[in-house]
Structure 1
Amino acid sequence: MGRLLDRYIHRKVLARWRQAAQSAADAAPATLRTQRDEARRLRGHLDQLILEADGQLMRPLIGSSQFPKPLGTDWYWRPDLWRGPLPRSGVASAPRKVTMDQHVSLFHDCRLSEIGIRQTRNTRDNDLAAFGLSLEVFGFTGSFLSLTVDLPVEATQGFSKQHLVRVDVHAEAERPSSIMARLNIQHGPNTDQVLRPLDISHTSSVADFDLAHLPLNERRIDKVWLDLIMDNPAMNRIILRDLTFCRHYRADL
């Protein structure tokens, strides 16, 4: 009932202002002055509403899993950190291991931690992920800094040496930097790795991991994870705007 009444009132208000606009040319000056003052007050509220609504609706949709995928993709995934808000958005002085959520963790071996990690909201027109991950590093005297992403169990189901695994990273950095992407596959007591460079000087950097040469025991694949290893991270700010995975069969030769 309340919604019906709201719609009725809305129609009556629209009709009133439509009539006022159509009759403005013949209205008396006193009437025009009153209507102008009322319209200005109303326009102020409407402009504020439109501005806020545009800002909210132009942002990437929370929970979205949509992104471009190669033909033949049979599994794809965007980690939750890039899809929705975390209970804890970040850590100012990161210890040697920081668990952001069930899939994403940060590791380093720097004694004096001048490292901050924080989830941010994406707002650019070309962003597909709702959130990003900001990594700020000041002094760094350690030997490694890496972000680890554990792929879900679904990624191991049907996994074979005929697959290519694609990782697409949308990143930006305050100063030139490079990232090495290492895909790790645990099968039984063994773990095999494939290493690929990522060039974050471009908005999007894609790494394709070919598994054909690996001595995988396809029936015993237990775990798959990705390490993003930051090279020379000191005095830099790196924002991972999006991170996506997909698995597809290679083309027949």
Structure 2
Amino acid sequence: MKAVLCKAFGPAETLVLEEVPNPEAKKNEIVMDVHAAGVNFPDTLIIEGKYQFKPPFPFSPGGESAGVISAVGEKVSHLKVGDRVMALTGWGSFAEHVAVPAYNVLPMPETMDFTTAAAFSMTYGTSMHALKQRANLQPGETLLVLGASGGVGLAAVEIGKAMGARVIAAASSADKLAVAKAAGADELINYSETNLKDEIKRLTNGLGADVIYDPVGGDLFDQAIRAIAWNGRLLVVGFASGRIPELPVNLALLKG
């Protein structure tokens, strides 16, 4: 089969397309014929050697994909050959076929296409876990989403609205904010043109955001944390800005 390979850490331009052996399903795995693969920010970090884990060389990047099962391991009973599925693979999705632990595979809804399914699990799974299980977002609360036009940001906007929150979307340009608005955002902040903290306070009548969803970090974190509501919850999702911020613990003390 053909696969995109990373043979040494570096930029995307160093990736190569080569022939490699087809994978075989171990007893708790399935093999999927890949119809579409998602591309996420962590994929770029992995190939540059900047992520939490470093796969052994050579490896095929790609943390999620969708396709049709072509082989099933002997211990797998809930999936079968021919099933349309989406999977979280960690890496390996930028290939014609991929072997995946069965517990990381979900059947696709009949109405969902492969392209949508391939880009669904990581972004929406991350945002659902953050907003529901970690923040316990409640109807009527104010949710601030930083980087609101990115994959996890857009998912957070949509899920936040579905959970009944008032959603403030923050991004760096009018075009990006238009995307967030189309996804359901109630209020918009262009943080390249205004002070983020001041705008949050203005839009919340000085109360601040109940939940802050932050996949960006850096200077935006520093401003947003100063506009969090009493008993607010901060969701640390990522550091797309490149700087991991430090939290002044006196701010946490003052906010309950």
| TM-score > 0.5, shorter chain as reference | no
Give TM-score scaled by structure 2 length.
Answer: 0.25
Give TM-score scaled by structure 1 length.
Answer: 0.25
Q: Could you say which structure has the greater relative contact order, defined with CA pairs below 8 angstroms and 6 or more residues apart?
A: 1
Bigger strand fraction:
1
Bigger helix fraction:
2
